[in-house]
Amino acid sequence: MTVVTRFAPSPTGFLHIGGARTALFNWLYARRHGGRFLLRIEDTDRARSTEAAKQAILDGLDWLGLEWDGEPVYQSARAERHTAVARNLLDAGNAYRCYCSPEELVAMREAARKRGSGRLYDGTWRDRDPADAPKDVSPVVRLKAPLDGVTVVDDAVQGRVTVRNDQLDDMVLLRADGTPTYMLSVVVDDHDMDITHIVRGDDHLTNAFRQSLIYRAMGWAVPAFAHIPLIHGPDGAKLSKRHGALGVDAYRDMGFPAEAVCNYLARLGWSHGDDEIFSMAQATGWFDLEDIGKSPARFDLAKLTSLSAHYIRAMADDRLAGTVEPLIAGRLAGPLTDTQRARLIAGLPGLKERAKSLVDLADSALFYCRPRPLEADAKAAKLLDDSGKAKLALARNALAEVEEWTADSTEAAVRATADAAGEKLGRIAQPLRAALTGRTVSPGIFEVLGVLGKPESLGRIDDILDRTAA
RNA sequence: GACCCCAUCGUCUAGCCAGGUCAGGACGUCACCCUUUCAAGGUGAAGACACGGGUUCGAAUCCCGUUGGGGUCACCA
């Protein structure tokens, strides 16, 4: 049997981080078994579905590298098939028309709650003579669900879950206007798409009971279920807008590499022993529904950040340059010149070692690309007081003598000067850093010197020294 | 309220199913080392089996209960 999984978002918002993980698990499972991973857009709520949201979801999946097989299925396009199934059920006596008014339903629900019953609809029209039907009311179609016994879902994550059938009432299949409900559509689509494994958030666990009732009524094979725990916010409550960034696009905008987000998400709720850092190719080789935890996990930005830093450090310079260049151009309000780009690439080894995110990286790389004279930030300016400038002058003299300009040769020159002057290297290096970068924090100062080159380096130093002279 | 699910360091988790480990790792935190700043790296530290009963020679592991958390209860998806 070929494994077929699906991700079925409704396009009412952006690709939520929890949805992204659900998609990832489905993708991983399908890839692990050489199966197919399908995408279905559940756009039957026309009022809330938007084209922009659909596109955002597709973009999000694309960014994460979760390629789906074939064309996306649009649930709204399949309404006729859904109603046909409902008619089937009706003809077979497995469903019936219900003429209750919304008011009656509300009263029923309240009464049921009051007596602590789980069955919210009392089955009024279940066995009532259709001849009693009021002429002016268009009915809904309800499933004739079993009254007693139990329904069992053997969930790959949650284990065997049993619910008494008296807790399950006769759900609506077709609304009064004849449109199918979600509960019907999902089942029909999953069946028609030959889905073998339904991996989704455990907020759907109770739906699984109702849905398996529809499968049975139709005589269809029930697919395997795997209900994965939801992701919670740092406060332990369901992840929501209150917790800040929601869509994967927000994490992309924060400068987290896609592989860091995938790695983090994969590790959230799923484990392969003590493995923490792994590629999706590795995860594909390891993934199993059995290894998904049963308890909800909290979203931890600190850990994502640490993964992000790891992947940035590991990234090849040319690829990294390509992703940060637009960010830098944005900050510079113009495209990079060849010189700026060359400095950026040369400076990347020292820069990426320190970056937590791509945004971070762009900010810290800025000084390489800024034209002279540099503006020093407050802390750097403080280092460039009279005493600092004296040290800077010392360094300038030493550097001016350097012929073969490299990180090593400039270091040798500055160290020699420091020794001769009886100064600790740091006393000279910090003013130098302030002059060269405009900041107190940067990659190794000799690396900076090497990247900048002699004329630019001396120029930046002179910008500071001359300013005082004047 | 009813039904369902869950419960190991602050967080993510390994270990649980097939009882016997100093309960392991990672992130974070702290200290030290390295050091031209900041990172990275290295070393080390603090830090958990929710509680109560069983079963057993022995329980994080099996059973029951309590407490706590979460989810679902629509002619939404």
A58 CA to B5 C1' in angstroms comes to 31
Q: Which residue has the higher pLDDT, A110 or A328?
A: A328
Nucleotide nearest to A10 (CA to C1'): B77
Residue nearest to nucleotide B40 (CA to C1'): A353
- What's the 3-state SS for A362-389? HHHHHHHHCCCCCCCCHHHHHHCCHHHH
Residue nearest to nucleotide B69 (CA to C1'): A236
What is the per-residue pLDDT for A321?
95
Find tokens 């918002």 and name the residue.
A13
CA torsion sign, A256 to A260 to A261 to A267?
negative
What is the per-residue pLDDT for A371?
92
Cβ contacts of A353 within 8 Å, gap of 6 or more: A313, A443
Bridge-based pairing of strands A159-164 and A150-155 is antiparallel
Q: Which residue has the higher pLDDT, A73 or A14?
A: A73
Residue nearest to nucleotide B72 (CA to C1'): A206
Over residues A129-134, the mean pLDDT reads 79
Nucleotide nearest to A424 (CA to C1'): B36
**What was the ipTM of the complex prediction?**
0.94
Nucleotide nearest to A176 (CA to C1'): B75
Cβ contacts of A155 within 8 Å, gap of 6 or more: A161, A205, A208, A225, A226, A227
Nucleotide nearest to A9 (CA to C1'): B77
Using 50, 70 and 90 to split pLDDT, how confident is the model at A241? low
Interval A144-180: pLDDT, tens: 999 888 999 999 999 999 999 988 889 999 999 999 9
Q: What is the mean pLDDT of chain A?
A: 92
A155 CA to B18 C1' in angstroms comes to 21
pLDDT at A62 over 60: yes
Nucleotide nearest to A114 (CA to C1'): B1
Q: Cβ distance A117 to A228 under 8 Å?
A: no
pLDDT at A430 over 50: yes
Using 50, 70 and 90 to split pLDDT, how confident is the model at A322? very high
Over residues A337-354, the mean pLDDT reads 96
Q: Which two tokens stand for residue A59?
A: 């973009």
Interval A284-312: pLDDT, tens: 999 999 999 999 999 999 999 999 999 99
What is the per-residue pLDDT for A467?
62
A183 CA to B72 C1' in angstroms comes to 14
Phi, psi angles (nearest 5°) of residue A144: -85, 95
The DSSP string of A231-244 is EE-TTSSBP-GGGS
Using 50, 70 and 90 to split pLDDT, how confident is the model at A242? low
- Helix (H) and strand (E) counts for chain A? 19, 12
* A287: nearest Cα among A35, A25, A37: A25
What is the per-residue pLDDT for A354?
96
A117 CA to B10 C1' in angstroms comes to 41
What is the per-residue pLDDT for A441?
95
Query: In terms of C-beta distances under 8 Å and separation of at least 24 residues, what long-range contacts does A401-405 make, across chains too?
Result: A402/A454, A405/A449, A405/A450, A405/A453, A405/A454
Using 50, 70 and 90 to split pLDDT, how confident is the model at A232? confident
Interval A401-419: pLDDT, tens: 999 999 999 999 999 999 9
Cα–Cα dist A37/A22, whole Å: 12
Residue nearest to nucleotide B12 (CA to C1'): A268
A2 CA to B42 C1' in angstroms comes to 49
A203 CA to B51 C1' in angstroms comes to 28
Find tokens 């659909």 and name the residue.
A54
Cα–Cα dist A275/A271, whole Å: 7
pLDDT at A442 over 80: yes
Using 50, 70 and 90 to split pLDDT, how confident is the model at A240? low
pLDDT at A470 over 50: no
Catalytic residue status for A238: no
How many Å is the Cα radius of gyration of chain A? 32
Burial, A361: exposed, middle or buried (Cβ in 10 Å; 0-12, 13-18, 19+)? buried
Residue nearest to nucleotide B14 (CA to C1'): A273
A306 CA to B77 C1' in angstroms comes to 35
Over residues A121-146, the mean pLDDT reads 85
Q: Which nucleotides of B are covered by protein (CB under 7 A)?
A: 1-8, 10-15, 24-28, 35-40, 69-77
What is the per-residue pLDDT for A201?
94
Over residues A43-58, the mean pLDDT reads 88
pLDDT at A83 over 50: yes
Bridge-based pairing of strands A36-41 and A231-232 is unpaired
pLDDT at A89 over 90: yes
Task: Report residue A29 CA to chain centroid gap.
Answer: 18
Output the furthest CA–CA distance in chain A (Å, rounded): 109
Residue A40 host element (H or E): strand A36-41
What is the per-residue pLDDT for A245?
55
Using 50, 70 and 90 to split pLDDT, how confident is the model at A256? very high
The DSSP string of A118-160 is S--S--TTTSS-GGG--TT-PPEEEE---SSSEEEEEETTTEE
Nucleotide nearest to A112 (CA to C1'): B2
Using 50, 70 and 90 to split pLDDT, how confident is the model at A243? low
Q: Which of A135, A238, A241, A294 is the catalytic position? A: A241
Using 50, 70 and 90 to split pLDDT, how confident is the model at A364? very high
A159 CA to B21 C1' in angstroms comes to 27
